[in-house]
Amino acid sequence: MTKADSILAQFDEHIAKLEADAARERRALEAALRKEKAVTAAPKDAPKAKRPKDAPTAERILEVRGLAKHFGDNAAVAGIDLEVDAGTIVGIVGPNGAGKTTTLSMITGLLRPDAGTVVVHGANVWEDPAAAKRQMGVLPDRLRLFDRLTGNQLLFYAGVLRGLPADTVRERVAQLAASFGLESALSRLVADYSAGMTKKLSLAAALIHSPRLLVLDEPFESVDPVSAANIIEILRKYVAAGGTVLLSSHSMDLIERVCDSVAIIVDGVVLASGTVAEVRGAGSLEDKFVELAGGKSTVEGLEWLHSFSD
Amino acid sequence: MVAQFLGLKLRLLGNLFRRSPWQVFGLIVGLLYGLGAAFAVLIGLVALRTVDVELARSVVVVAGSLIVLGFLFVPLVFGADDTIDPRKFSLFGIPTSRLALGLAAAAFVGVPALVMAIIAAAQVVTWARSVPATIVAIVSALVLVVTCILGSRVTTTVATLLLSTRRAREATGLIGLVVLSALSPLIAIMMTVDWEHQGLAVLHSIADIASWTPLGAVWAAPGSAAAGDAGAASGELIIALAFVGLLWLVWRVLVAAMLVRPDRVSRTRAYTGLGWFARLPASPSGVIAARSLSYWGRDVRYRSALVIVPIVPAVMIGALAVAGVSLHFLVLLPVPIMCFFLAWSTVHNDVAFDNTAVWLHVASNTDGRADRAGRIVPPLVLGLIVIAIGTPLCAWGYGSADVVPSLLGTSLCVLFVGLGLSSVISAGFPYPAVHPGDSPFAQPQSSATGASWVQGLSLLAVLAVTTPTVALAVLGIAFGEGWHIASLLVGLATGGVALWGGIVLGGRVFDARGPELLAFTARY
């Protein structure tokens, strides 16, 4: 190695270190800002107009502190804090592989975290799972259902597992099927459902025990627009009655329309959170998201795509 | 184009070795097995060189026809994993003829083709007795390899084309099992033939028929040439070549059809009402039992475990009878053996059978004991039915009602202990299982090690716990009544404690390890 090379290498190393330091500082600053915002914003809670008037103050239905999960050397979730007030719809957005599903799985008690606490309605999910899980309705992403049951049987199964008496379950199954447009599908095996129908059925199963908190991972994926509008209406009614929804989605537009507040997760940390208006600032939520997620840097170099091969 | 397909197939083969060490181990075992089988056939064929022409020809034709049959039908029954399915190339816009040729050529890269090439070459050694016979044998060797490899491609493709729906796949898996189990009576019939006196005549007559079918003609031609029968040799060669031509035409048509036809869509069946759910109590253990019962009825993985239950005692008793054990005592075995397989072989990996669907139990914080108790209901009910029907029948066959208590004690003990132990094992030591919807034969490769020690240890544990009861039953048969009653009491006591303890302990394990179980199922 020549002298010039070694100097260059040292220089590169130095730059890399500076960059790492800057990133660390930025994260610390953001964390501090977030704490400050939480302290100052919580008592005001101005934008949460959807809560019914008789609810006295915003109840903290979900409190996540320092949640972390490693898979091997790879930190999927690196210390996430999240607060969700009762009677709101909160969206989690992030690029592919940002740790959304991992976070939601740890909140719902499906994945044991390496560190951190999750408290749902005063009950710690990982210390008092019985009390905490009773408050939650869960729609996981990419997990199987017992798909050799008919839709009817699966909803009945979910209802009874949640401790409801048989008559109540039958009644609710009929009503849920009607609201989700699943009546004609109830007698078919879930294995024969389309992706969108499976999603709707899972959502109905998550709602059947009228939980305080709904945790929905990608509830709108592969659902047609009519059904999505229908689901949104159901969720809004549920929230108006005091329920709370925490959902993840890829669709910024949908999050912007549906959610009261939003958290942007990139590389397993929350980069921005607050009400939708706070997070998006001057531009659209999508612009903010792309900016934070560091996109739009790779569109060069595809010039050959501008002329066709024949 | 052909070179590219060959390269692709080589790379696919090479990549097989870049998986996890255990998968590679399984692959090497499979490779050695294939080469071992080829080597055995090779030795046989070389040895036949010294045998007189007539006998050698008959042996080669019968064994050879079975080999060709195997190449044609094994993929149909077992559902070959088709890495070079023509449909995968449908978006590249390759002309059909070139695609058919390229894919067919690629099929000649692989272990089956290697095995077949070794066998075909060995067959030349058998028949290199005169110049014309050698020439015919060399031509036959080439035709042979092409017949087997192209034939298996055609049947694999037909299988993927016809059996692309879930229900059809499940049906063939089950048919395969039934065929396999039907083979044992066939073997029994073969055993009854007086081979010493009529064996050769039977062999020759089978060979005479087979040599004029596409399966045997290619094997028969060199033999006929060696015997100096030029007419028969050329006739058989023509049949063999015509069969290859036919296979090529079918293959060409299949590729063309596959390119324009999407996966078949199945018609769905409607089920009315709640089924088992309406008949069982609406409690967590009740619905889990109802779910298990529904699955036992609908899921081919459970049904295939069930098909084995009556076969195993039949095979065991047959083997023991051949070994000279008196039927008088063998008659007592079927019920305990069936109970053992019902209890042990069906539910000891039940959580892995659920795959990630078990999240519902974890998210609902389902009581582990309810989960355990619900899952064992189908084998428990079936086992009790088998005991209720089988015990009197066996006692009648034995010729004395005295054995009823010890027979009951042993059967119940085996059933309860097996189910109790399964309850702990399925929560504590799951191993990768066939995924829902896959063929019951598609056992994941990586299961090889974990599965075998879990199965082995649990089997030993069941045997250990039931030993006292069995010992008392044996004493009862030897010395009389008092021991029979003792066997019943000890059997009920150990069985009851094991079942109850298994559900409680398994429930605790399930409660503690719920998320880990889910993570395990998500990994495989």
Question: What single string gives the DSSP state of each residue in B428-471?
Answer: HS----PPTTS-TT---GGGHHHHHHHHHHHHHHHHHHHHHHHH
> What does the pLDDT read at residue B446?
46
Looking at the fold, whether B224 and B307 belong to one and the same domain comes out as no
Instruction: Name which of B285, B294, B360 to mutate to probe chain A: the one with the most chain A Cβ atoms within 10 A of its Cβ.
Output: B360
pLDDT at A212: 92
Contacts of A182 in chain B (CB under 8 A): none
Indicate if B349 and B486 belong to the same structural domain. Answer: yes
Q: What is the pLDDT of residues B134-161, one digit of tens each?
A: 898 999 999 999 999 899 888 878 777 6
pTM over 0.90: no
Residues B255 and B291 in one domain: no
Mark yes or no for CB contact B363/A136 under 8 Å.
yes
Q: Does B524 touch chain A (CB under 8 A)?
A: no
In chain A, the domains with their CATH numbers are 27-43+59-135+211-295 (3.40.50.300), 138-197 (no CATH)
B462, pLDDT greater than 80: yes
Residue B290 has a pLDDT of 94
Inform me whether the C-beta atom of residue B292 falls under 8 Å from chain A C-beta atoms: no
Chain B residue with the nearest C-alpha to that of A169: B282
Of residues B147 and B257, more confidence is placed in B147
| Residue A26, pLDDT score | 61
In a domain, B317, yes or no: yes
Query: Does residue B229 sit in the same domain as residue B309?
Result: no
Collect all residues of chain A within an 8 Å Cβ-Cβ radius of residue B436: 144, 147-148, 191
Q: CA B369: distance to chain centroid?
A: 33
pLDDT at B242: 94
Inform me whether the pLDDT recorded for B194 exceeds 80.
Answer: no
Q: At residue B63, does pLDDT exceed 60?
A: yes
Q: Could you identify the residue written with the tokens 């019968």?
A: B62
Per the domain annotation, does B481 fall within a domain? yes
Is residue B219 over pLDDT 80?
Answer: yes
**Looking at B260, B290, B312, which one is the last position of a domain?**
B260
Judge whether B265 is closer than 8 Å to chain A, CB to CB: no
Q: Is the pLDDT of residue B475 over 90?
A: no
- Locate the chain A residue with the closest alpha carbon to B360: A158
Of A136, A144, A156, the CB nearest to B356: A144
* Residue B288 and residue B173 share a domain: no
pLDDT (tens digit, 9 = 90+) per residue, B489-512? 999 999 999 999 999 999 999 999
- Residues B292 and B249 occupy one common structural domain: no
Residues B287 and B242 in one domain: no
Is B265 a member of any domain? no
**B39 within domain boundaries:** yes
A153 and B294 within 8 Å at the Cβ level: the answer is yes
In a domain, B438, yes or no: yes
Beta-ladder partners of A71: A74
Q: Is the pLDDT of residue B408 over 70?
A: yes
Closest Cα in chain B, distance from residue A304 (Å): 20
- Residue with more model confidence, B316 or A154: A154
How confident is the model over B309-366, as pLDDT tens digits?
777 777 777 777 776 777 778 888 889 988 988 888 778 888 888 889 999 999 999 9
pLDDT at A57 over 70: no
Average pLDDT over residues A95-105: 88
Residue A40: pLDDT over 70: no
Q: Is B264 on the interface with A (CB under 8 A)?
A: no
User: Is any Cβ of chain A less than 8 angstroms from the Cβ of B298?
Assistant: yes
- The whole-number pLDDT of residue B5 equals 84
Residue B241 above 70 pLDDT?
Answer: yes
What ipTM, to 2 d.p.?
A: 0.78
User: Which of B209, B230, B260 is where one domain is finished?
Assistant: B260
Q: pLDDT band for A43, please (50, 70, 90 cuts).
A: very low
Residue A246 is predicted with a pLDDT of 94
User: Is A146's CB within 8 Å of B354's CB?
Assistant: yes
pLDDT digits (tens, 9 = 90+) for A241-291: 989 999 998 888 888 888 999 998 888 888 888 888 888 887 888 888 888
Encoded tokens for A268: 């397993």
Report how many Cβ contacts below 8 Å link chain A to chain B. 109
CB B127 within 8 A of CB B134: yes
Chain B residue whose CA is closest to A152 = B274
| Residue A169 sits at the chain B interface (C-beta within 8 Å) | yes
Q: Does residue B213 sit in the same domain as residue B318?
A: no
Q: Which residue has the higher pLDDT, B131 or B448?
A: B131
| Residue in A with minimal Cα distance to B301 | A148
pLDDT bin (cut points 50, 70, 90) of residue A81 is very high
Cβ of B283 under 8 Å from any chain A Cβ? Answer: yes
| Total Cβ atoms within 10 A of residue B168 | 14
Instruction: Tell me the shortest Cα–Cα distance from A293 to chain B, in angstroms.
Output: 28
What amino acid occupies position B235? G
What percent of chain A lies above the pLDDT cut of 70?
Answer: 79
Query: What mean pLDDT is reported for chain A?
Result: 82
Asked if B496 and B365 sit in the same domain, the reply is yes
- Please give the structure tokens belonging to residue B141: 């060797």
Per-residue pLDDT of B162-188, as tens digits, reads 665 555 555 665 666 566 555 555 555
Residue A273: which H helix or E strand, with range?
strand A269-275
B448 and B479 fall within a common domain: yes
Q: Which residue of A has its CA nearest to B283?
A: A160
Distance of residue B168 Cα from the nearest chain A Cα, in angstroms: 14
Residue with tokens 């559900």: B503
Give the number of domains in chain B: 2
Task: State the pLDDT at residue A48.
Answer: 41
Burial label, B294 (beta-carbon count in 10 A; 0-12, 13-18, 19+): buried
The confidence score (pLDDT) of residue B106 equals 87
- B323 shares its domain with B226: no
pLDDT number for residue A17: 64
> B411 is in which domain, residue-wise?
279-523
Domain match, B255 and B310 both: no
CA distance A104 to A102: 6
Mean pLDDT of chain B: 82
CB contact under 8 A, A188 and B268: yes
Which of B225, B260, B295 corresponds to the end of one domain?
A: B260
B10 domain residue, yes or no: no
